[in-house]
Amino acid sequence: MAEPLLEVRNLSVTFHTARGPVEAVRNVSWQVAPGEVLAILGESGSGKSVSASAVMDLIDCPPGEITSGEIIYRGRDLLKLSADERREINGKRIAMIFQDPLSHLNPVYTVGWQIEEALTTHGTPKDKARVETISLLDKVGIPNPEASARKYPHQFSGGQRQRLMIAMALALRPDVLIADEPTTALDVTVQAQILALLEQLQHETGMALLIITHDLGVVAEIADRVVVMNAGEIVEQGTAAEVYANPQHPYTKRLIGAAPGKGAIHDDPPTTEPILLLQNVCKKYGEFEALKGCSFELCEGETLAIVGESGSGKSTTARVLLRLEEPTSGRAMYHGRDLFALTPRELFEMRRDIQMVFQDPTQSLNPRMTVYQIISEAWAIHPEILPKARWRERVAELLGQVGLKPEHAHRYPHQFSGGQRQRIAIARALALEPRVIVCDEAVSALDVQVQAQVIELLDKLKDEFGLSYIFIAHDLPVVRDFADRVIVMQKGQIVEQGPVRDIFENPRETYTRNLLAASLDPDPEVQARRRAERLSKEVA
């Protein structure tokens, strides 16, 4: 192996929080060589980003403090350099891109200005920087580089913004590029493009690439070596293929075991009557058509997944169905009645039957209400369900059903982890004894292991209570494991629907095929095969 270019040795960082010092990482060591791709893999709170922040001098002190360790770059310990010397290296020798490029680009300056600044900060003359900026924009695949340079970040799409970040980071041809969750908020097809761009640029420049991610698929797609972190410590490292095929540490084994997309496909969709029938549903926002005539049905006891990229209209479908927003036209037949034509009184009663679980339980649960209040509020609104005397008992029962404890009833949402909060949200939905639950990206924000647990819970509850789910997701492997039937949406229209096995193994439409091809498999071997196919297609 080549000489390491950047090496972190025995790094420990402590954060001083209101509740006292927390050791975010302990004795972390890794290294990356020129031309190599190293991935740091970990779940939220594992401390996977901390060492990269330390490399970039982005840890605020206080509250963060590097208590021990060295960061060796080209033979010098970065931690012993002055702030000015660190700034010389930042952006010029070691550059970084982040998750969520929209908030990481300054909203009030043109993107051209921001890329030029990366150059001029390190001494490039202004006129030269301008020319260089245009060619960089061209290189990362931004159309109309000259005109685009004069635009502002909000005028680009999510994928383009990440391209802009990459252009900015690569302006001075750094030796090391650190990418912190670079594709996490992006659609799968865009994710594939960004990863391909990073790889291509790395081949051209020979830089070292450090990718921080929670996604085994990203590791499988791009990484040579992987460092697995848990609770602030490195538990395992090795080549990506080695670690996946033969994990040593129990944590890694659990992580790989929880990766979705490997379970049994549901082959026995319930052969029941449809309970919900959507006909030609349209939704316009001004001129923009979010839904262009969608029709589908949901059978009793079925899990129907709606997949699609951002802007495909999948969430709009859910919101319209629940009458959180009014449809422009169409019908939604439920037990012989049109949900869209109900009077307010009828709608109020109907709301009991169709409940929703949202993506982010931190936002969808009222932070000032206890779990007991959150769940029992349903019965205050619909008193016919349960007499007040039985509320306490029933809350405890519901909490038990979602895998929480009765004593949790008197805590507040912030006292729970993300996965527990989503369980509370599910218990809240169940309190109304609904027939249908709409899960809008209900597991997207969760770590894979928690995701697997929540999916398992949903599956169990379905059988227990005879529920039907509409499961909206962008994550195809999760859908593959969980759904009975799949609807694929694009630009407000349904492009394909069918049983889950047909969609995943025998997709008819090009769009579905592209979507599946772009989704990442946690197995590096599978990913290598897909890449070979992709490349051969590109050549042909």
Partner 1 sequence: MKKFLFKRAISSAISLLLLIVAVFFLSRLTGDPTDLYLPVDASQEARDNFRAINGLDQPLIVQFGRYVWDVLHLDFGDSIRRARPALEVVIEAFAWTLQLALITMFLVSLAAIILGSLAAFKVGGFFDRIATFFSLIGAAAPDFWVAIVAIVIFSLGLGWLPTSGTGTPLHWILPIAVLFIRPFGLILQVVRGSMINALSSAYVKTARAKGVTPKKQVFVHALRNGMLPVITVIGDQAAGMLNGAVIVETIFGFPGVGKLMIDSILQRDFSVILAAIMVTAIAIFLMNILIDLAYAALDPRIRY
Residue 299, CB half-sphere, CA atoms under 13 Å: how many? 15
Q: Which stretch binds partner 1 (CB under 8 A): 109-117, 200-208, 311-319, 376-384?
A: 109-117
Q: Does 298 bind partner 1 (CB under 8 A)?
A: no
- Contact between 95 and partner 1 (CB under 8 A)? yes
- Tell me which residues in 487-516 interact with partner 1 (CB under 8 A): none
- Cα dihedral 127→128→130→133 (10° resolution): -170
In the bound state with partner 1, the residue whose beta carbon lies nearer, of 61 and 381, is 61
To partner 1, the closest distance from the beta carbon of 99 in angstroms equals 9
Segment near partner 1 (CB under 8 A); pick from 113-121, 324-332, 391-399, 424-432: 113-121
Exposure on the CB side of residue 66, measured as CA atoms within 13 A = 23
Strand partners, 18: none
Measured between alpha carbons, how far is 165 from 160 in angstroms, rounded to an integer? 9
Q: Does 168 bind partner 1 (CB under 8 A)?
A: yes
Contact yes or no for 238/292 (Cβ under 8 A): no
Which stretch, 147-155, 226-234, 315-323, 467-475, contacts partner 1 (CB under 8 A)? 147-155
Length of the chain: 540
Q: Find the binder of partner 1 among 14, 46, 90, 512 (CB under 8 A).
A: 90
Q: Of 339, 326, 341, which Cα lies nearest the Cα of 284?
A: 326
d(CA 239, CA 256): 15
Q: How far is the CB of 226 from partner 1 (least distance, A)?
A: 23
DSSP character string of 23-80: EEEEEEEEEE-TT-EEEEEE-TTS-TTHHHHHHTT-S-TTTEEEEEEEEEETTEEGGG
Between helix 126-139 and helix 111-121 the angle, nearest 10°, is: 120
- Quote the least distance from Cβ 21 to partner 1, whole Å: 18
Nearer to partner 1, 120 or 514 (CB): 120
The one-letter code for the residue type at 359 is Q
Closer residue to partner 1 (CB): 117 or 456? 117
Q: What is the 3-state secondary structure (H, E, C) of 111-145?
A: HHHHHHHHHHHCCCCHHHHHHHHHHHHHHCCCCCH
In this complex, which beta carbon is closest to partner 1, that of residue 165 or of residue 429?
A: 165
Residues from 182 through 241 that contact partner 1 (CB under 8 A): none
Taking alpha carbons only, the member of 274, 284, 273 closest to residue 330 is 284
- Under the binding rule (CB under 8 A), the answer on residue 116 touching partner 1 is no
To partner 1, the closest distance from the beta carbon of 120 in angstroms equals 10
Distance (Å, whole) CA 170 – CA 93: 10
**Interacting residue with partner 1 among 8, 11, 37, 118 (CB under 8 A):** 118
We find the least distance from the C-beta atom of residue 143 to partner 1, in angstroms, to be 18
**Chain centroid offset of residue 396 CA:** 32
| Residue listed under structure tokens 């709606």 | 306
| Interacting residue with partner 1 among 23, 65, 70, 88 (CB under 8 A) | 88
Beta strand extents in 171-320 (DSSP E only) = 176-180, 208-213, 225-230, 233-239, 274-285, 288-299, 303-308
Q: Which CB sits closer to partner 1, 105 or 321? A: 105
The binder of partner 1 chosen from 23, 70, 117, 199 (CB under 8 A): 117
Identify the bridge partners of residue 32 per DSSP, sorted by sequence position.
6
Rule CB under 8 A: is residue 517 a binding residue for partner 1?
no
Q: What is the closest distance, in whole angstroms, from the C-beta atom of residue 251 to partner 1 in the complex?
A: 29
Q: Does 108 bind partner 1 (CB under 8 A)?
A: yes
Q: How many residues bind partner 1 (CB under 8 A)?
A: 31
Stretch that binds partner 1, among 13-21, 95-103, 397-405, 515-523 (CB under 8 A): 95-103
Among 105, 298, 354, 399, binds partner 1 (CB under 8 A): 105
User: Is the backbone peptide bond immediately before 62 cis, with ω within 30 degrees of 0?
Assistant: yes
Residue 122 binding partner 1, by CB under 8 A: yes
Shortest Å, Cβ 316 to partner 1: 24
CB of 139 to partner 1, least distance (A): 18
Whether residue 197 contacts residue 141, with contact meaning beta carbons closer than 8 Å, is answered with yes
154 part of the interface to partner 1, by CB under 8 A: yes
Show contacts with partner 1 in window 332-351 (CB under 8 A).
none
**Closest of 299, 335, 323 to residue 469, by C-alpha:** 299
Q: Using the rule CB under 8 A, is 147 a contact of partner 1?
A: no
- Residue 121 in the binding site for partner 1 (CB under 8 A): yes
**Which token pair is 145?**
């580089």
Query: In whole angstroms, how close is the CB of 94 to partner 1 at the nearest point?
Result: 9
Binding status of residue 136 toward partner 1 by CB under 8 A = no
Contact between 92 and partner 1 by CB under 8 A: the answer reads yes
Binding residues vs partner 1 (CB under 8 A): 56-58, 87-92, 95-96, 98, 100, 103-110, 117-118, 121-122, 152, 154-155, 165, 168-169
